[in-house]
Amino acid sequence: MKLVTGIGGWPDEAGERGLAAEAAGYDIVTCGELAHDSILTMALAANATARIELMTSVTIAFPRSPMVLAMEAWDIQRLAKGRFSIGLGSQVKGHNERRFGGTWSAAAPRMKEYIQMMKAIWDSWQDGTPADFLGKEYRYTLMTPNFNPGPIDFPKPKVYLAVVGPAMARVAGEVADGILPHGGIMTDQYMRETVLPNVKIGLERSGRTWDDIDVAASGYLALGENDEQISKALDSFRQPLSFYGSTRSYHHVLRMHGLEDLGMRLHKLSLDGRWQEMREIITEDDLLKLAQTCRYDDYPQFVVNNREYASQMGFGMSTKTPDQQARAAEVMAKLQQVQTPGVPAGLEF
């Protein structure tokens, strides 16, 4: 099992944080795209590190053209000597139109074309394939020598796709190299009953199998050494749940757990700007309907039993003291030894 940690904040800190993750034994370092640019962050991390894999998690696709991201990913892949993967996300309509000043159309079919065009561009640069991609949203029919960077001595970047809804899960299975389930609003039940079955549909459409795609572990999971720590970890989910649960685009997840009414209350409070109250109306019973719990001693076996579909997973423990550092290293080593089939139970081909 590959272990993942994230870096964020100002890009000038990316190199130092990437080196720290590498030294700590992580397999993959990721960065999101909230207040800073994910591509710049990963370029700086790539330049500073030597072993660790790098992935954006995620880069918001639609405000950029597929050609722009294809070029940036190509450059970083060469800089990183083959260690880079790009994770794409669509964001929601409001952010695309009102924050990025862009356009909006049905996200899943648009994302499918986006990934197909990026891969067509890389085929041109690596293999000399003619520029001949015609979609409804995107077209790529021109590549002259002056604008062709040429091949690189490394594999083409992998494209991972952020997934919440069934349509995007099918697109991921059809054209992506990996899946990044939206951790902010993902439960194990929703992952198994909605996301993974639709990924399989996409794989079948493209004649692929689970061997052709990487899946990141997901689902609210409260971890700790004891019950007190697990309770604190459970409480920490109030913040992401209050934020994502207030967005009606994600209410289908809450509906599966009988919590759609909570989502509507969160939505109304968000419209009124009552941010603190959003956290306070979430009860422990609500959290327990959504989250699983586990002690660190039981974590490796939990992964074997409950994340059998995954090839990578996020990991974080407190490392403020030498004892905590030693304990984190111990747990990490055990998790990295876990072997999973990479096939969701009940969804075998």
**Where residue 304 sits, what CATH number does that domain have?**
3.20.20.30
For residue 345, being part of any structural domain is answered with no
183 and 249 belong to one structural domain: no
User: Which of 290, 306, 325 finishes a domain?
Assistant: 290
Nearest to 195 by CA among 214, 237, 176, 167: 167
Considering the domain boundaries, does residue 34 fall inside one? yes
Cβ atoms of 54 and 85 within 8 Å: the answer is: yes
The answer to whether residue 260 is domain-embedded is yes
Q: pLDDT (tens digit, 9 = 90+) per residue, 160-175?
A: 999 999 999 999 999 9
Does one domain contain both 69 and 161?
A: yes
Between β-strands 133-134 and 139-140, what pairing exists: parallel, antiparallel or unpaired?
Answer: antiparallel
Which pLDDT score, from 0 to 100, does residue 249 have?
83
Asked if 320 and 243 sit in the same domain, the reply is no
Q: Is residue 349 part of a domain?
A: no
- The pLDDT assigned to 182 comes to 87
* Domains contained in the chain, number: 2
Burial class, 59, CB count within 10 angstroms (exposed 0-12 / middle 13-18 / buried 19+): buried
Instruction: Domain of residue 159: give its range.
Output: 2-224+296-336
The reported pTM is 0.94
Considering the domain architecture, whether residues 193 and 273 belong to the same structural domain is answered as no
Are 263 and 204 part of one and the same domain?
no
Reading the block at residue 40, the tokens are: 């710049």
Specify whether the backbone of 138 is left (phi greater than 0), alpha (psi in -120 to 50) or beta.
beta
Q: What percent of the chain lies above the pLDDT cut of 90?
A: 96
pLDDT of residue 183: 82
Per-residue pLDDT of 232-286, as tens digits, reads 999 999 999 999 999 888 899 999 999 999 999 999 999 999 999 999 999 999 9
pLDDT in tens, 30-53: 999 999 999 999 999 999 999 999
Asked if the structure places residue 216 within a domain, the reply is yes
Indicate whether 344 belongs to any domain. Answer: no
Is the same domain home to 286 and 302?
no
Q: Are residues 154 and 10 in the same domain?
A: yes
